[in-house]
Amino acid sequence: MNILHVIASMDPVQGGPCQVVRDIIPEIEKLGARSEVVCLDEPQATYPAKDEFRIHALGPKSGPWQYSAKLVPWLLANLSCFDAVVVHGLWLYHGYAVRKAANLLKKRQETIGESQNNIKVYVMPHGMLDPYFQRAKERKLKAVRNWFYWKLVESHLVNEADALLFTCEQELQLAREPFRPYSPRQEVNVGYGIAAPPAFEQEMQQAFAQQCPQLQGQPYFLFLSRIHDKKGVDLLIRAYAFIRANKLKSKAEPVLISSTVDEIVETMPVEINFPKLVIAGPGLETPYGLSIQELVDEFSELHGSVLFPGMLMGAAKWGAFYGCEAFILPSHQENFGIAVVEALACGKPVLISDQVNIWKEIRDGEGGLVAKDTLEGTQQMLQEWQSLPDTSRETMGLKARETFKKCFAIPPAAQRFLSAVEV
């Protein structure tokens, strides 16, 4: 079986969808399916990941719609070579182009009397139908834009596709809420998984230490994702500052200072073994990223305690996962949370909000803690973690690994994906 994956970008900085493509293709190829990818990156683009499957880069793309004049002609020339096409992501030109090319190809075949190839079109929204994007206060204008775009364009792609493919049951359920008409021919929860991480090696720890030398072997919480307001980074910093300030206050002790006039007793904070906070990921140069760094500077108790190593990849990324005390992501919306699953796979407890769509699997597997995506919820989650005895934390780490193997291993997800698109 030949499958074409169509996506706006394969740049790892873009996160989620392109990582799903990279994870799923090698596994379905083991099952006998051949895959190619067409994207709108520059033809000379190089990615940190060394992809072994073929990528057709048809950029440059232009504007917020990410338009490329080359895409429809390429699809018309090549679609007949594939049994199925999977559109990854919504709201951009590549989805419109696939529907247009498929319809033009069908009409062309009808006109000249050719037997129709009857290519199957599938859409994988990757959380882009989540009602969060229509309800968030800061997205009012974008929500109006999306409503009009849905009426004019996107509803046709979604409702005419042979099936919508979802990465978890929560995503499938939420996708039914924000738009009308919403009547897909079929909804399939194919799930999602990742390959087991490489076994820990000392080089991973060293690679991470080189990118985050300020840690100096101290314990730390790890946030690893885009630095974006959707991720709740500001909540995390404020909650962390609150907990750390309370820890410093509770550990304060009287210090006797002698002078020639009298003796003054002052209360001075003492050093505590409280984990530092590593916030890793792209986006530090954005307005939100800059505001986050300014927020850290506002809290004197955070001096030297919140570290920004930037985007981590390869050995440095795995070193960060394996070395952390716990992974934390108080996101306001997360379709799946690949980094969450990567932490589980490394045997690390995850501290997440109930807006991460796989929170029920993690709660049921006892592989972490779940709270509301509010300041109070994030504070309570950190406090609960700090109150756990070491034995409970170790047990949670073991259950995190078991949750990964039971719910998020890649082979079963690849089989479900292939079964959904097989003609």
Q: Is the pLDDT of residue 263 over 50?
A: no
pLDDT of residue 260: 42
Same domain, 261 and 336: yes
Whole-angstrom distance, CA of residue 285 vs CA of residue 264: 46
Same domain, 182 and 213: no
Q: Is the pLDDT of residue 226 over 50?
A: yes
Same domain, 377 and 290: yes
Same domain, 230 and 251: yes
Q: Are 327 and 381 in contact (CB under 8 A)?
A: no
Same domain, 64 and 116: yes
Phi, psi of 337 (to 5 degrees): 90, 70
pLDDT of residue 39: 97
Q: Is the pLDDT of residue 146 over 70?
A: yes
Tens of pLDDT, residues 153-212: 999 999 999 999 999 999 999 999 999 999 999 999 999 999 899 999 999 999 999 999
pLDDT of residue 111: 79
Task: Output the six-digit token pair for 253.
Answer: 């002790």
Q: Please give the tally of structural domains in the chain.
A: 2
Short-list 183, 193, 194, 188, CA closest to 165: 188
Host H or E run for residue 346: none
Same domain, 230 and 168: no
Same domain, 179 and 237: no
Q: Looking at this protein, which amino acid is placed at residue 246?
A: N
Tokens 């498929």 correspond to 102
Same domain, 189 and 315: no
Q: Are 346 and 321 in contact (CB under 8 A)?
A: yes
Confidence of residue 50 (pLDDT cuts 50, 70, 90): confident
What's the CATH code of the domain at 380?
3.40.50.2000
Phi, psi of 54 (to 5 degrees): -80, 130
Tens of pLDDT, residues 158-168: 999 999 999 99
pLDDT, average across residues 75-91: 96
Same domain, 169 and 227: no
Task: Output the six-digit token pair for 288.
Answer: 């939100």
Q: Are 318 and 196 in contact (CB under 8 A)?
A: no
Query: By residue range, what is the domain housing residue 357?
Result: 202-407
- Mean pLDDT for the chain overall: 91
Q: Cα separations (Å) of 76 from 39, 108, 118, 157, 194?
A: 15, 10, 13, 17, 33
pTM for the full model? 0.84
pLDDT of residue 268: 41
Same domain, 69 and 163: yes
